[in-house]
Copies of this chain bind each other. A is one copy, B any other.
Amino acid sequence: MDFLDALRQQLGPDAIIPPGEPMASYLTERRGLFADRPVLAVVRPADSAGVAAAVRSSAEHGIAVIPQGGNTGLCGGAAAGTGDRAIILSLERLNRIRAVDADNFSVTAEAGCRLSAVQAAAAAVDRLFPLSYAAEGECQIGGNLATNAGGMNVLRYGNARDLTLGLEVVLADGRIWNGLRALRKDNSGYDLKDLFIGAEGTLGIITAATLKLFPAVRERATAIVGLESAESAVALFGMLRAESGDSVTSCELMGRQPLAFAIDYADGCAEPLPARYPWYLLIELTSSAREAGLGRRLERALSAAPAGTGDYRIADDADEAAAFWRLRNGIPAAQKGAGASIKNDISVPVADMPAFMDAAARIVRAACPGVRVCAFGHIGDGNIHFNLTRPETMTDADFLAEWDPLTAKVHDTVMAYNGSFAAEHGVGQLKPGEVSRLKDPVEQDLMRRLKSALDPTNHLNPNKVVPPAGD
Protein backbone atom coordinates (compact mmCIF):
# COMPACT_ATOMS: atom_id res chain seq x y z
CA MET A 1 0.00 0.00 0.00
CA ASP A 2 1.16 3.51 -0.77
CA PHE A 3 2.62 5.55 2.13
CA LEU A 4 -0.19 8.10 2.25
CA ASP A 5 -2.95 5.50 1.90
CA ALA A 6 -1.48 3.53 4.75
CA LEU A 7 -1.24 6.65 6.90
CA ARG A 8 -4.81 7.61 6.02
CA GLN A 9 -5.97 4.18 7.10
CA GLN A 10 -4.11 4.44 10.40
CA LEU A 11 -4.86 8.05 11.31
CA GLY A 12 -8.25 8.60 9.69
CA PRO A 13 -9.11 10.61 6.58
CA ASP A 14 -9.12 13.99 8.41
CA ALA A 15 -5.50 13.55 9.29
CA ILE A 16 -4.12 13.77 5.75
CA ILE A 17 -4.16 16.78 3.46
CA PRO A 18 -2.75 15.56 0.15
CA PRO A 19 -1.38 17.77 -2.61
CA GLY A 20 -4.19 19.33 -4.59
CA GLU A 21 -6.13 20.12 -1.44
CA PRO A 22 -5.69 23.48 0.24
CA MET A 23 -2.57 23.46 2.37
CA ALA A 24 -1.41 27.03 1.84
CA SER A 25 -1.48 27.96 5.53
CA TYR A 26 1.04 25.18 6.23
CA LEU A 27 3.34 26.17 3.37
CA THR A 28 3.40 29.92 3.89
CA GLU A 29 6.32 31.14 5.89
CA ARG A 30 6.40 34.38 7.75
CA ARG A 31 9.44 35.92 6.12
CA GLY A 32 8.72 34.64 2.64
CA LEU A 33 12.21 33.15 2.46
CA PHE A 34 11.17 29.50 2.45
CA ALA A 35 7.52 29.61 1.39
CA ASP A 36 5.46 27.35 -0.82
CA ARG A 37 7.86 24.47 -1.16
CA PRO A 38 5.98 21.30 -2.11
CA VAL A 39 5.57 18.42 0.33
CA LEU A 40 4.01 14.98 -0.11
CA ALA A 41 1.23 15.85 2.31
CA VAL A 42 0.34 17.66 5.48
CA VAL A 43 -0.34 15.09 8.20
CA ARG A 44 -2.40 16.09 11.23
CA PRO A 45 -2.58 13.29 13.80
CA ALA A 46 -5.08 13.62 16.63
CA ASP A 47 -2.86 12.33 19.41
CA SER A 48 0.65 11.23 20.40
CA ALA A 49 0.06 7.68 19.18
CA GLY A 50 -0.87 9.13 15.79
CA VAL A 51 2.30 11.20 15.72
CA ALA A 52 4.28 8.06 16.59
CA ALA A 53 2.57 6.11 13.78
CA ALA A 54 3.28 8.85 11.24
CA VAL A 55 6.94 9.09 12.27
CA ARG A 56 7.39 5.30 12.23
CA SER A 57 5.85 4.98 8.80
CA SER A 58 7.91 7.89 7.46
CA ALA A 59 11.06 6.27 8.79
CA GLU A 60 10.18 3.02 7.04
CA HIS A 61 9.56 4.82 3.75
CA GLY A 62 12.59 7.10 3.94
CA ILE A 63 10.43 10.19 4.08
CA ALA A 64 11.44 13.31 5.96
CA VAL A 65 9.18 14.66 8.72
CA ILE A 66 8.94 18.41 9.25
CA PRO A 67 7.12 19.09 12.51
CA GLN A 68 5.06 22.25 12.58
CA GLY A 69 3.26 24.14 15.32
CA GLY A 70 1.74 27.58 14.78
CA ASN A 71 4.09 28.19 11.85
CA THR A 72 5.21 31.53 13.26
CA GLY A 73 8.95 30.79 13.29
CA LEU A 74 11.39 33.26 11.76
CA CYS A 75 14.17 30.92 10.61
CA GLY A 76 12.31 28.42 8.43
CA GLY A 77 12.54 25.58 10.95
CA ALA A 78 8.96 24.51 10.25
CA ALA A 79 9.14 25.01 6.49
CA ALA A 80 10.12 22.42 3.92
CA GLY A 81 13.61 22.41 2.50
CA THR A 82 14.26 22.22 -1.22
CA GLY A 83 13.97 18.83 -2.82
CA ASP A 84 12.95 16.92 0.30
CA ARG A 85 10.61 13.96 0.02
CA ALA A 86 8.83 15.19 3.10
CA ILE A 87 5.60 15.54 4.99
CA ILE A 88 4.70 18.46 7.19
CA LEU A 89 3.53 16.97 10.47
CA SER A 90 1.21 19.47 12.11
CA LEU A 91 0.72 19.14 15.85
CA GLU A 92 -2.33 21.41 15.82
CA ARG A 93 -4.85 18.71 16.76
CA LEU A 94 -2.93 17.80 19.91
CA ASN A 95 -4.46 20.73 21.70
CA ARG A 96 -5.65 19.50 25.08
CA ILE A 97 -4.58 20.88 28.40
CA ARG A 98 -4.08 17.53 30.12
CA ALA A 99 -3.76 18.79 33.70
CA VAL A 100 -3.41 21.95 35.73
CA ASP A 101 -2.10 21.62 39.27
CA ALA A 102 -2.17 24.91 41.18
CA ASP A 103 -0.59 23.39 44.31
CA ASN A 104 2.31 21.94 42.33
CA PHE A 105 2.54 25.14 40.26
CA SER A 106 2.44 23.10 37.04
CA VAL A 107 0.42 22.53 33.88
CA THR A 108 0.60 19.70 31.34
CA ALA A 109 -0.27 20.78 27.81
CA GLU A 110 -0.16 19.06 24.44
CA ALA A 111 2.15 20.46 21.80
CA GLY A 112 -0.62 21.99 19.70
CA CYS A 113 -2.01 24.20 22.48
CA ARG A 114 -1.64 27.83 21.60
CA LEU A 115 0.62 29.70 23.98
CA SER A 116 -2.32 31.93 24.88
CA ALA A 117 -4.34 28.81 25.83
CA VAL A 118 -1.61 27.70 28.22
CA GLN A 119 -1.52 31.19 29.73
CA ALA A 120 -5.32 31.06 30.11
CA ALA A 121 -5.27 27.63 31.76
CA ALA A 122 -2.83 28.98 34.32
CA ALA A 123 -4.82 32.16 34.91
CA ALA A 124 -7.94 30.07 35.55
CA VAL A 125 -6.30 28.69 38.72
CA ASP A 126 -4.78 32.03 39.76
CA ARG A 127 -1.35 31.17 38.39
CA LEU A 128 0.95 32.70 35.80
CA PHE A 129 2.55 30.98 32.84
CA PRO A 130 5.10 33.68 32.08
CA LEU A 131 6.20 32.90 28.53
CA SER A 132 4.91 35.81 26.47
CA TYR A 133 5.67 37.37 23.12
CA ALA A 134 3.97 39.00 20.17
CA ALA A 135 2.83 35.78 18.44
CA GLU A 136 1.31 34.27 21.60
CA GLY A 137 -2.19 34.03 20.08
CA GLU A 138 -0.94 31.97 17.13
CA CYS A 139 2.19 30.11 18.16
CA GLN A 140 1.92 26.72 19.84
CA ILE A 141 3.64 25.50 22.94
CA GLY A 142 5.33 22.64 21.06
CA GLY A 143 6.96 25.15 18.75
CA ASN A 144 7.84 27.38 21.71
CA LEU A 145 9.72 24.46 23.24
CA ALA A 146 11.26 23.25 19.98
CA THR A 147 12.77 26.71 19.52
CA ASN A 148 13.33 27.46 23.23
CA ALA A 149 11.33 30.66 22.83
CA GLY A 150 12.31 33.76 24.78
CA GLY A 151 10.19 36.90 24.74
CA MET A 152 9.35 39.66 27.18
CA ASN A 153 9.73 37.98 30.59
CA VAL A 154 12.95 36.04 30.26
CA LEU A 155 15.02 38.03 32.69
CA ARG A 156 12.65 37.19 35.53
CA TYR A 157 11.35 33.76 34.54
CA GLY A 158 13.79 32.38 31.97
CA ASN A 159 13.39 30.97 28.47
CA ALA A 160 10.96 28.19 27.52
CA ARG A 161 13.65 25.69 28.58
CA ASP A 162 13.72 27.08 32.11
CA LEU A 163 9.94 26.74 32.34
CA THR A 164 9.89 23.04 31.48
CA LEU A 165 9.66 20.21 34.00
CA GLY A 166 8.96 17.29 31.69
CA LEU A 167 8.29 16.25 28.10
CA GLU A 168 6.60 13.60 26.04
CA VAL A 169 8.55 13.06 22.83
CA VAL A 170 8.10 10.90 19.75
CA LEU A 171 11.54 9.59 18.78
CA ALA A 172 12.92 9.12 15.29
CA ASP A 173 11.90 5.46 15.16
CA GLY A 174 8.36 6.19 16.36
CA ARG A 175 8.78 5.15 19.98
CA ILE A 176 7.30 7.48 22.57
CA TRP A 177 9.47 8.68 25.44
CA ASN A 178 7.23 9.51 28.37
CA GLY A 179 9.20 12.04 30.35
CA LEU A 180 6.19 14.00 31.59
CA ARG A 181 7.43 14.36 35.13
CA ALA A 182 6.23 17.24 37.25
CA LEU A 183 9.28 17.23 39.54
CA ARG A 184 11.47 20.08 40.77
CA LYS A 185 14.33 17.74 41.55
CA ASP A 186 15.18 14.65 39.59
CA ASN A 187 18.70 13.32 39.17
CA SER A 188 17.83 9.76 38.29
CA GLY A 189 19.61 9.79 34.93
CA TYR A 190 20.73 11.99 32.06
CA ASP A 191 18.82 15.18 31.40
CA LEU A 192 17.00 14.15 28.25
CA LYS A 193 14.40 16.88 28.07
CA ASP A 194 16.87 19.68 27.45
CA LEU A 195 18.21 17.82 24.45
CA PHE A 196 14.84 18.09 22.70
CA ILE A 197 14.11 21.66 23.81
CA GLY A 198 15.62 24.04 21.29
CA ALA A 199 16.50 21.24 18.84
CA GLU A 200 13.75 22.39 16.44
CA GLY A 201 12.36 18.91 15.89
CA THR A 202 15.64 17.47 14.61
CA LEU A 203 16.10 14.99 17.49
CA GLY A 204 12.51 14.10 18.34
CA ILE A 205 9.03 15.58 18.18
CA ILE A 206 7.67 17.08 21.38
CA THR A 207 4.03 16.04 21.79
CA ALA A 208 3.33 17.32 25.31
CA ALA A 209 5.05 19.17 28.13
CA THR A 210 4.72 19.72 31.85
CA LEU A 211 5.49 23.35 32.55
CA LYS A 212 6.18 25.49 35.60
CA LEU A 213 3.62 27.98 36.84
CA PHE A 214 4.11 30.96 39.14
CA PRO A 215 1.86 32.99 41.41
CA ALA A 216 -0.41 35.30 39.41
CA VAL A 217 0.68 38.92 39.09
CA ARG A 218 -1.30 41.27 41.37
CA GLU A 219 0.68 44.46 41.07
CA ARG A 220 2.68 46.12 38.34
CA ALA A 221 4.70 49.32 37.97
CA THR A 222 5.96 50.61 34.63
CA ALA A 223 8.37 53.42 33.86
CA ILE A 224 10.17 54.92 30.92
CA VAL A 225 13.57 56.44 31.53
CA GLY A 226 15.74 58.65 29.32
CA LEU A 227 19.44 57.71 29.27
CA GLU A 228 22.62 59.41 28.15
CA SER A 229 24.23 56.12 27.12
CA ALA A 230 23.65 52.40 26.80
CA GLU A 231 26.16 51.94 29.64
CA SER A 232 23.74 53.73 31.95
CA ALA A 233 21.08 51.17 31.03
CA VAL A 234 23.30 48.34 32.27
CA ALA A 235 24.09 50.14 35.52
CA LEU A 236 20.45 51.09 36.09
CA PHE A 237 19.28 47.54 35.40
CA GLY A 238 21.65 46.07 38.00
CA MET A 239 20.63 48.65 40.57
CA LEU A 240 16.91 48.12 39.92
CA ARG A 241 17.20 44.34 40.17
CA ALA A 242 18.67 44.72 43.63
CA GLU A 243 16.51 47.55 44.93
CA SER A 244 13.26 46.03 43.69
CA GLY A 245 13.85 42.70 45.39
CA ASP A 246 14.55 41.12 41.98
CA SER A 247 11.09 41.94 40.69
CA VAL A 248 12.17 43.47 37.37
CA THR A 249 10.14 41.55 34.78
CA SER A 250 10.95 43.57 31.66
CA CYS A 251 13.87 45.82 30.85
CA GLU A 252 13.67 46.93 27.23
CA LEU A 253 16.20 49.28 25.68
CA MET A 254 15.32 51.50 22.73
CA GLY A 255 17.69 53.70 20.77
CA ARG A 256 16.43 57.14 19.76
CA GLN A 257 16.29 55.95 16.13
CA PRO A 258 13.77 53.12 16.66
CA LEU A 259 11.79 55.26 19.13
CA ALA A 260 11.58 57.98 16.48
CA PHE A 261 10.41 55.36 13.95
CA ALA A 262 7.65 54.30 16.35
CA ILE A 263 6.54 57.90 16.92
CA ASP A 264 6.60 58.62 13.17
CA TYR A 265 5.11 55.43 11.79
CA ALA A 266 3.21 53.51 14.50
CA ASP A 267 -0.30 54.24 15.78
CA GLY A 268 -0.83 55.93 19.13
CA CYS A 269 2.84 56.65 19.82
CA ALA A 270 4.01 59.99 21.24
CA GLU A 271 7.19 61.47 22.72
CA PRO A 272 7.28 59.92 26.20
CA LEU A 273 9.44 62.53 27.97
CA PRO A 274 9.84 66.31 27.68
CA ALA A 275 13.48 66.06 26.60
CA ARG A 276 15.05 63.77 24.01
CA TYR A 277 17.67 61.20 24.90
CA PRO A 278 19.96 58.95 22.86
CA TRP A 279 18.55 55.92 24.69
CA TYR A 280 15.38 54.95 26.53
CA LEU A 281 14.67 52.15 28.96
CA LEU A 282 11.21 50.68 29.50
CA ILE A 283 11.08 49.01 32.89
CA GLU A 284 8.35 46.92 34.41
CA LEU A 285 8.26 45.53 37.93
CA THR A 286 5.64 42.96 38.88
CA SER A 287 4.68 41.18 42.07
CA SER A 288 2.24 38.54 43.14
CA ALA A 289 1.90 40.28 46.50
CA ARG A 290 -0.96 42.62 47.25
CA GLU A 291 0.15 46.11 48.23
CA ALA A 292 3.69 45.33 47.15
CA GLY A 293 4.44 49.05 46.89
CA LEU A 294 6.20 48.66 43.55
CA GLY A 295 5.50 52.21 42.38
CA ARG A 296 7.00 53.67 45.53
CA ARG A 297 9.98 51.35 45.25
CA LEU A 298 10.53 52.30 41.60
CA GLU A 299 10.24 56.01 42.40
CA ARG A 300 12.78 55.71 45.21
CA ALA A 301 15.22 53.76 43.04
CA LEU A 302 14.92 56.05 40.00
CA SER A 303 15.30 59.20 42.07
CA ALA A 304 18.62 57.82 43.33
CA ALA A 305 19.64 56.38 39.97
CA PRO A 306 23.27 56.24 38.81
CA ALA A 307 24.90 58.90 36.65
CA GLY A 308 23.70 58.98 33.06
CA THR A 309 20.07 58.41 34.01
CA GLY A 310 17.95 61.30 32.80
CA ASP A 311 14.33 62.23 33.21
CA TYR A 312 11.83 59.45 33.85
CA ARG A 313 8.12 58.92 34.04
CA ILE A 314 6.32 56.25 36.09
CA ALA A 315 2.97 55.31 34.57
CA ASP A 316 0.05 56.64 36.61
CA ASP A 317 -2.23 53.86 35.48
CA ALA A 318 -2.61 50.91 33.12
CA ASP A 319 -3.45 53.21 30.20
CA GLU A 320 -0.24 55.12 30.52
CA ALA A 321 1.73 51.89 30.93
CA ALA A 322 0.09 50.65 27.71
CA ALA A 323 1.21 53.83 25.96
CA PHE A 324 4.82 53.11 26.98
CA TRP A 325 4.50 49.56 25.69
CA ARG A 326 3.03 50.80 22.39
CA LEU A 327 6.33 52.57 21.77
CA ARG A 328 8.28 49.38 22.29
CA ASN A 329 5.88 47.10 20.48
CA GLY A 330 5.35 49.55 17.63
CA ILE A 331 8.98 49.43 16.56
CA PRO A 332 8.97 46.29 14.36
CA ALA A 333 6.06 47.55 12.22
CA ALA A 334 7.32 51.14 12.26
CA GLN A 335 10.65 50.01 10.86
CA LYS A 336 8.84 48.91 7.71
CA GLY A 337 7.61 52.46 7.21
CA ALA A 338 11.21 53.63 7.15
CA GLY A 339 12.27 51.19 4.44
CA ALA A 340 13.82 47.75 4.21
CA SER A 341 15.61 46.36 7.26
CA ILE A 342 18.16 43.66 7.86
CA LYS A 343 17.26 41.98 11.14
CA ASN A 344 19.67 40.45 13.58
CA ASP A 345 18.75 38.24 16.51
CA ILE A 346 21.89 38.34 18.60
CA SER A 347 23.01 38.27 22.21
CA VAL A 348 26.14 39.15 24.16
CA PRO A 349 26.79 39.28 27.90
CA VAL A 350 24.63 42.08 29.37
CA ALA A 351 27.60 44.14 30.51
CA ASP A 352 29.22 43.97 27.05
CA MET A 353 26.17 45.12 25.12
CA PRO A 354 27.10 48.83 24.99
CA ALA A 355 30.61 48.10 23.69
CA PHE A 356 29.27 45.56 21.22
CA MET A 357 26.70 48.02 19.85
CA ASP A 358 29.36 50.72 19.45
CA ALA A 359 31.70 48.38 17.63
CA ALA A 360 29.04 46.84 15.42
CA ALA A 361 27.57 50.24 14.49
CA ARG A 362 31.01 51.51 13.48
CA ILE A 363 31.62 48.46 11.33
CA VAL A 364 28.28 48.45 9.52
CA ARG A 365 28.44 52.24 8.93
CA ALA A 366 31.85 51.85 7.37
CA ALA A 367 30.53 49.12 5.11
CA CYS A 368 27.28 50.88 4.26
CA PRO A 369 27.44 54.64 4.82
CA GLY A 370 24.14 56.15 5.96
CA VAL A 371 22.73 52.84 7.29
CA ARG A 372 20.38 53.55 10.19
CA VAL A 373 21.10 51.36 13.20
CA CYS A 374 17.85 50.48 14.86
CA ALA A 375 18.80 48.73 18.09
CA PHE A 376 16.14 47.79 20.59
CA GLY A 377 15.14 44.88 22.75
CA HIS A 378 15.82 42.87 25.84
CA ILE A 379 18.89 44.52 27.37
CA GLY A 380 18.27 42.67 30.62
CA ASP A 381 18.95 39.44 28.72
CA GLY A 382 21.79 40.85 26.62
CA ASN A 383 19.53 40.22 23.63
CA ILE A 384 19.17 43.20 21.31
CA HIS A 385 17.50 43.22 17.92
CA PHE A 386 20.40 44.92 16.23
CA ASN A 387 18.46 45.81 13.11
CA LEU A 388 19.77 47.81 10.20
CA THR A 389 17.42 50.04 8.24
CA ARG A 390 18.45 51.15 4.76
CA PRO A 391 20.09 54.54 4.24
CA GLU A 392 17.49 57.19 3.30
CA THR A 393 19.12 57.56 -0.10
CA MET A 394 19.29 53.84 -1.01
CA THR A 395 16.60 51.63 -2.55
CA ASP A 396 15.22 48.69 -0.60
CA ALA A 397 16.50 46.27 -3.21
CA ASP A 398 20.04 47.68 -3.25
CA PHE A 399 20.12 47.54 0.52
CA LEU A 400 18.76 43.99 0.79
CA ALA A 401 21.43 42.85 -1.66
CA GLU A 402 23.85 43.63 1.20
CA TRP A 403 22.07 41.19 3.57
CA ASP A 404 24.71 38.48 3.66
CA PRO A 405 27.85 40.63 3.92
CA LEU A 406 26.32 43.01 6.51
CA THR A 407 24.92 40.13 8.58
CA ALA A 408 28.30 38.41 8.48
CA LYS A 409 29.95 41.56 9.82
CA VAL A 410 27.43 41.80 12.66
CA HIS A 411 27.86 38.10 13.51
CA ASP A 412 31.66 38.38 13.43
CA THR A 413 31.42 41.22 15.93
CA VAL A 414 29.02 39.18 18.06
CA MET A 415 31.54 36.34 18.18
CA ALA A 416 34.31 38.76 19.18
CA TYR A 417 32.17 39.55 22.24
CA ASN A 418 31.51 35.85 23.01
CA GLY A 419 27.93 36.25 21.97
CA SER A 420 25.35 34.29 20.01
CA PHE A 421 24.25 34.82 16.40
CA ALA A 422 20.93 33.09 17.17
CA ALA A 423 19.63 34.35 20.50
CA GLU A 424 15.91 33.64 20.55
CA HIS A 425 14.71 32.76 17.05
CA GLY A 426 16.75 29.61 16.54
CA VAL A 427 18.73 28.35 13.57
CA GLY A 428 16.17 26.59 11.36
CA GLN A 429 17.33 26.55 7.75
CA LEU A 430 18.36 30.21 7.85
CA LYS A 431 21.52 29.86 9.90
CA PRO A 432 23.14 26.39 9.61
CA GLY A 433 25.74 28.07 7.41
CA GLU A 434 26.59 30.39 10.30
CA VAL A 435 26.77 27.43 12.68
CA SER A 436 29.32 25.93 10.31
CA ARG A 437 31.21 29.20 9.84
CA LEU A 438 31.26 30.45 13.43
CA LYS A 439 30.94 27.60 15.89
CA ASP A 440 33.91 25.76 17.33
CA PRO A 441 34.40 22.54 15.28
CA VAL A 442 34.35 20.56 18.55
CA GLU A 443 30.85 21.83 19.25
CA GLN A 444 29.72 21.05 15.71
CA ASP A 445 31.09 17.55 16.09
CA LEU A 446 29.16 17.08 19.33
CA MET A 447 25.98 18.27 17.61
CA ARG A 448 26.49 15.77 14.76
CA ARG A 449 27.12 12.94 17.20
CA LEU A 450 23.88 13.69 18.99
CA LYS A 451 21.96 13.91 15.72
CA SER A 452 23.38 10.53 14.61
CA ALA A 453 22.68 8.94 17.99
CA LEU A 454 19.03 10.01 18.09
CA ASP A 455 18.11 10.18 14.40
CA PRO A 456 20.51 7.81 12.65
CA THR A 457 18.62 7.91 9.34
CA ASN A 458 18.35 11.73 9.39
CA HIS A 459 14.66 11.89 8.61
CA LEU A 460 13.58 14.25 11.42
CA ASN A 461 13.60 17.78 10.03
CA PRO A 462 16.75 17.20 7.95
CA ASN A 463 19.09 20.05 7.05
CA LYS A 464 17.91 22.17 9.93
CA VAL A 465 20.11 23.40 12.80
CA VAL A 466 23.05 21.03 12.18
CA PRO A 467 25.25 21.80 9.18
CA PRO A 468 26.39 18.78 7.15
CA ALA A 469 29.86 17.46 8.02
CA GLY A 470 32.60 19.14 6.04
CA ASP A 471 30.27 22.04 5.20
Residues in chain A within 8 A of chain B (CB atoms)? 101-106, 126, 147-148, 150, 154-155, 158-159, 161-162, 171, 175-192, 194-195, 197-199, 203, 214-216, 218, 234-235, 238, 241-247, 287-290, 292-293, 297, 347-352, 378, 380-383, 418-427, 431, 434-435, 439-440, 442-444, 446-447, 449-450, 452-454, 465-466
Partner of A297, one of B178, B179, B182, B289: B289
Report the bound CA distance from A187 to B419 in whole Å: 11
* 13 more A-B residue pairs beyond the given contacts A189-B435, A189-B447, with a C-beta to C-beta distance below 8 A: A126-B242, A155-B184, A161-B191, A177-B443, A177-B446, A183-B348, A183-B419, A185-B424, A188-B422, A188-B427, A188-B435, A245-B287, A452-B453
Closest residue to A216 on the B side, CB-wise? Answer: B242
Task: Establish whether residues A449 and B454, one from each chain, have CB atoms under 8 Å apart when the complex forms.
Answer: yes
In the bound complex, how far is the Cα of B189 from the Cα of A418, in angstroms? 15
Report Cα–Cα, A187/B465, bound state, in Å.
10
Contact of A187 among B184, B187, B381, B423 (CB under 8 A): B423
Q: Which of A180, A181, A183 has the most CB of B within 10 A?
A: A183
Interchain nearest-CB distance for A232 vs B (Å): 12
What are 5 A-B contacts defined by CB distance under 8 Å?
A105-B238, A181-B418, A183-B347, A184-B381, A241-B288
Complex CA–CA separation, A306 to B117 (angstroms): 30
Nearest chain B CB to A337 CB, angstrom units: 28
- Given A103-B351, A177-B443, A289-B243, decide whether A191 and B184 contact each other with a Cβ distance below 8 A: no
A28 to chain B, nearest CB (A): 23
- Choose among B101, B218, B242, B418 the residue that contacts A288 (Cβ–Cβ < 8 A): B242
**Bound: A287/B294 CA distance, A:** 14
Find out whether the CB atom of B435 lies under 8 angstroms from the CB atom of A288. Answer: no
Q: Which residues of chain B have C-beta atoms less than 8 A from A348's C-beta?
A: 183
Q: Which residues of B contact A176 (CB under 8 A)?
A: 442
Contact partners of A427 in chain B: CB under 8 A: 187-189
A233 CA to B289 CA, complexed, in Å: 19
Least CB distance from A350 to B in Å reads 5
Beta-carbon nearest neighbor of A150 in chain B: B185
**Measured CA separation A103–B347 after assembly (Å):** 15
Task: Contact check, B191 vs A104: say whether CB atoms are below 8 A apart.
Answer: no
Complex Cα distance A382/B185, Å? Answer: 8
CA A11 to CA B416, docked complex, whole Å: 32
Which chain B positions have C-beta within 8 A of A188? 420-423, 427, 431, 434-435, 439
Nearest-CB residue, chain B, relative to A290: B243
The one of B238, B380, B446, B454 that contacts A454, using a Cβ cutoff of 8 Å = B446
Kindly provide the distance from the CB of A461 to the nearest chain B CB, expressed in whole angstroms.
Answer: 13
A144 to B239 alpha-carbon distance, docked (Å): 29
